[in-house]
Structure 1
Amino acid sequence: MVHQEIKRREDENKELNQFVNKLGSLYDEIRGFRHDFAGIIASLAPVIQERNINEIELVYKDVLLTTNANLQKLDYSAFDLKNIDDLAFRNALAKAMLEAEKQGVTFKCDVPGHIPVVDISMLDMIRILSILLTNAVEAAQEADKPLVEVAITNKNNVITVMIYNTRSKIPLNKRRIWEKGVSSKGDDRGLGLYNLKKLLGDYPQLSLETKVGQEDFTQIMTIQ
């Protein structure tokens, strides 16, 4: 029992270190952009004073447009967890983001408003979110354009979690995916949604809507 607790804490510390390292890399990118931008402004000052239109156009095309394109390639949305108070949400999202990056899946997370602590066991909430997010990341790996998008909103104290992912064109039966052993990932691998269904049954304030598209999959969970 003690060994399991030590192992769990070691795993948590490892994941935390990975997340901190990623944030450090992100900070370096932002700091580098600030430095570059300061240089760009400095180079523009004399040509503006001289009203040298040709030089201004050259700096705009060769420097500003390139810098803007590079900045747009950087996606910081997955790190925006400051509005979430619930540690279960933070834990599951951080793990999913790291796994998505490791597997080459674009991961986006939008949390526009405050998300309070929900009245659900932390362990169960982590399990529920982890199943949904793990399935999304795994399915997205098989897509032509691997993508997972998460949106979490709070309207009149009703929390809505929308998890969207791209997937392969393999036909999916919306009803059968909840059966034990059924999965789009192969035989005897469909335990996630089966276990999720049992977990949801313990919490009447939880509901889940599933939408299956030809090349995408969406789960919408509502917490009353």
Structure 2
Amino acid sequence: MALINSIPLLTLSVLGYFIPTCCFLPSKLTLKQKAGFFCILLVNLFFMMHGLGNAGVVFLLLSSCIYFALIFKNRLLNICAFIAIYLFCVLCDHVFSLFWNTLISSFSNFQTFTMDYFLYVLLYVILMAIICPPLGKLTHRFTIKIIFGIPKQVLALITANLLVCLFIFLFNIIVGQYIGYSDKIITFNCILFGCYCIISTVLIVNLLKTHMAKMELDMRQESYKRLQEYTDQVEEMYSSLRSFKHDYRNIMLSMSGYIEAEDIKGLRTYFHNEILPQSQSLSKNTAQLNQLMNLKVTELKSIVSSKLLYAIELHIAVTIEMTEEISEISVDALDLSRVLGIFLDNAIETALETEHPSIRFAAISLDTEYLFIISNTYIDHGLSLASLRQPLISSKGTTRGIGLYNAQKILSKYPGVLWNTAKDETSFTQQLNIAK
């Protein structure tokens, strides 16, 4: 009978961990994964309530971490997040206990499986269900920009801090069960846990802010590098043009020799073998740059030109469509450069897999919006369009697949930008509609 009566309390206890985990975990759990995690919590909390006590927390943490390591590719990140979520739950539980002590009744008089204890757990779960969803969204907004680019050194420092914090929490929880949770112990634990959490949070936030600043600096240096490459390419084209003009007189003189000798066959051979290849090489690259003259945003021009000229060097057929001037865009130039850079990198890699690689880049100015279109030949690997925007999902290997995910997070900051992805049997297209 006691076992049956404990089922509602057990279910509520499971929800006390389940709700925060689903809200705060960096990787989204599928319905099947949620069911598996719920069962793990159910089994562990059952044994904790019927024999193991708070010492069973060790098994709960181990089994949950192993489960997340098995279902997620970014294992360490999600394990660290789960440990942080558990510490958050412990802190909330102690703070709630302190308020309960002060406003309702002494927590030290509680007995397990009583109505008072059931009411306490019920109110705690309701509180978690109210505060966790908005807090989870807030946390994701802060961390999503950097979460998949955290260096190993920073992640190691965060992991070490969480493990030390976890050890302190577990020690206090397990010892507290044996000596009893008096009002003074609950107050002391609240102060200890609160101070440590505040200090840890400040340290971690500062680490992440430093990392974000470094990422921003690296991106600006990359943008400058692309601009320098573009400048070098323009200078190279100009030098080629000067060289061609300088040789023009000599070319005419050499052709006049064939004409005076009325050697039409020799002239034709000389023209096709010597003159035409130089002319085509010069005009081809110059034509590509001429198309980009209408793009007046320097950061965009540098990244687009360098990527497309790199594609030409790889013998990819490149088509550029840009007939009207584009000078001001409502999206931050650095953000748009990053997104277009990601699209073009993917287009180049994907096009090279095909027998006749080609890329089309179009920038079109309409009355109310700008259109940026990047289309390329590709081989269909059977991945859905929706899955391509998920982290670590790619046709290029298990360690790839961050690019489009990062692009989605960048574009999510701009409500005036619409991103469409389409594909048919031979071409893959990315299109950005940017409101003026």
Q: Identify whether the pair has TM-score above 0.5, normalized to the shorter chain.
A: yes
1:62 aligns with 2:269: yes
- Asked if structure 1 preserves the Cα contact closer than 8 Å seen for 2:227 and 2:299, the reply is no
Would the aligned equivalents of 1:144 and 1:168 in 2 still touch at CA under 8 Å? no
What amino acid is the match of 2:276? N
CA distance in 2, matches of 1:117, 1:206: 15
Match of 1:185 among 384, 387, 396: 396
DSSP 3-state at the match of 1:223: strand
1:79 aligns with 289
Residues 46 and 68 (structure 1), Cα distance of their counterparts in 2 relative to 1, 3 Å cut: closer
Identical-pair percentage: 26
Shift in Å, 1:183: 1.1
**Pair 1:153–1:31, CA change in 2 (3 A):** same
| Cα separation, 2, equivalents of 1:108 and 1:72 | 15
SS in structure 2 at match of 1:82? helix
Task: Name the one with the larger strand percent.
Answer: 1
Which runs of 5 or more structure 1 residues have no equivalent in the other structure? none
The one of 410, 413, 416 aligned to 1:205: 416
When residues 107 and 33 of structure 1 are mapped into structure 2, their CA distance, relative to the original with a 3 A threshold, is same
Alpha-carbon separation, structure 1, partners of 2:333 and 2:228: 22
Partner of 2:178: none
Conservation of the 8 A alpha-carbon contact between 1:104 and 1:141: no
Q: CA deviation at 1:150?
A: 1.0
Which amino acid is 1:62 matched to? Answer: T
Instruction: Tell me the amino acid that sits aligned with residue 71 of structure 1.
Output: S
1:22-101 to structure 2, matched below 5 A, reads: 22-45=233-256, 54-59=262-267, 61-66=268-273, 67-74=275-282, 75-76=284-285, 77-80=287-290, 81-97=292-308, 100=311
* Count of residues in Structure 1 that have an aligned counterpart in Structure 2: 219
Question: Residues of 1 paired with 2:313 and 2:265: CA distance?
Answer: 40
Give the distance between the partners of 2:280 and 2:359, measured in 1 at CA.
18
For the 8 Å contact 1:161–1:222, the answer to whether it is kept is: yes
Measured against aligned partners, the alpha-carbon deviations of 1:79-127 in whole angstroms (never above 9, x if no partner) come to 3332112234224314424654676655543322201211112232222
Distance 1:206 1:70 in 2: 43
1:66-87 CA-partner distances (Å, limit 9, x unpaired): 3224422442244333211223
Q: Distance in 1 between matches of 2:322 and 2:340?
A: 15
Question: How far apart in 2 are the matches of 1:101 and 1:197?
Answer: 28
Structure with the bigger RCO (C-alpha within 8 Å, sep 6+) is: 1
Range 4-13 or range 125-134, more displaced: 4-13
SS at match of 1:120: coil
> Which secondary structure does the structure 2 equivalent of 1:96 belong to?
helix
TM-score, length-normalised on structure 2?
0.43
1:25 is paired with a residue of what secondary structure?
helix
CA shift for structure 1 position 186: 1.6
* Matching residue within 102, 121, 126 for 2:337: 126
Separation of aligned partners in 1, 2:391 and 2:221: 32
CA distance 1:62–1:200, change in 2 (3 Å): same
Q: Distance in 2 between matches of 1:36 and 1:181?
A: 53
CA contact (8 A) 1:19 1:98 kept: no
Which structure has the bigger radius of gyration?
2
CA contact under 8 A between 1:78 and 1:110: conserved in structure 2? no
Range 171-180 or range 156-165, more displaced: 171-180
- The answer to whether the aligner puts 1:117 opposite 2:328 as a matched pair is yes
Q: 1:17 to 1:178 in 2, by over 3 A?
A: closer
Structure with bigger helix share is 2
CA displacement at 1:13 relative to structure 2 = 5.0
Give 3-state SS (helix, strand or coil) of 1:204's partner.
coil
Give the CA RMSD over aligned residues.
3.2
CA contact (8 A) 1:40 1:63 kept: no
Aligned-partner SS, 1:182: coil
Q: Distance in 2 between matches of 1:31 and 1:62?
A: 25
